[in-house]
Amino acid sequence: MARTAVAQRFSDCQQLAESQWRQPLEQHLQQLLKRAAEAFDYRFERPTLMLNQRGTIAGSARLQTQVLRLNPVLLVAEPQAFIGQILPHELAHLLVHQLYGRVAPHGAQWQQMMESVFDVPAERTHRLDVSAVQGEMFLYHCGCQQHQLTIRRHNRVLRGASYRCRGCGEELQKLPNE
């Protein structure tokens, strides 16, 4: 039942993002491409923009296919962060790959693209509120603390996998339901 609600929310946000934010994103993408082309005197391939990223990831860049994927749920919640930070961040990955090939994902070339060309702080991670997209967490414990496992890791434990605490080295145990 919860999975259906999550899927419906994703679909609703995807439609809203397409109708309200596709055009501003595409326009800003074009502006960023123009800035980069002028800065490097290079004609960059225009990437495809998709609003289908899931989970807590705000966006991702597919280097081989020149695709930018943005999370519609997070986009609808904080559109200005996407236009100002997330879109330039992901685009910088693609443009750096076009210019230099395989380099460190957040290395000097990427930082230069972000700060000198796009005039955006070169931050590796976003600070968006992900509570709306974060799945259920399961409480486990060890000898020194409590741990929250994602549903994926919890299901792996149910199938026989085990995880150890990095602090004390003990195997994590599920906390009994209250």
Could you read off the pLDDT of 97-150 as tens digits, one per residue? 999 999 999 999 999 999 999 999 998 887 776 666 666 778 999 999 999 888
- Pair (104, 165) in one structural domain: no
- Pair (9, 56) in one structural domain: yes
pLDDT digits (tens, 9 = 90+) for 47-106: 999 999 988 888 999 999 999 999 999 899 889 998 999 999 999 999 999 999 999 999
Per-residue pLDDT, averaged over 29-51, amounts to: 98
- Pair (42, 74) in one structural domain: yes
Helices (H), the chain: 2-40, 72-77, 79-81, 87-100, 108-112, 151-158
Give the count of domains, the chain: 2
pTM of the entire structure? 0.77
Instruction: Check which CATH number belongs to the domain holding 110 and give it.
Output: 3.30.2010.10
Give the pLDDT of residue 9: 85
- Pair (24, 99) in one structural domain: yes
Give the pLDDT of residue 135: 66
- Pair (83, 170) in one structural domain: no
Residue 154 within any structural domain of the chain: yes
Residue 124 within any structural domain of the chain: no
Supply the range of the domain harboring residue 164.
137-174
Residue 70 within any structural domain of the chain: yes
Do the Cβ atoms of 48 and 68 come closer than 8 Å?
Answer: yes
Give the pLDDT of residue 1: 41
pLDDT confidence tier of residue 38, bands split at 50, 70 and 90: very high
Pick the catalytic residue from 18, 45, 78, 90: 90
Residue 26 within any structural domain of the chain: yes
- Pair (156, 94) in one structural domain: no
Q: Within 10 A of 61 (CB to CB), how many other CB atoms are there?
A: 20
Residue 107 within any structural domain of the chain: yes
Is residue 90 part of the annotated active site? The answer reads yes
- What is the distance between the alpha carbons of residues 10 and 72, in angstroms, rounded to a whole number? 7
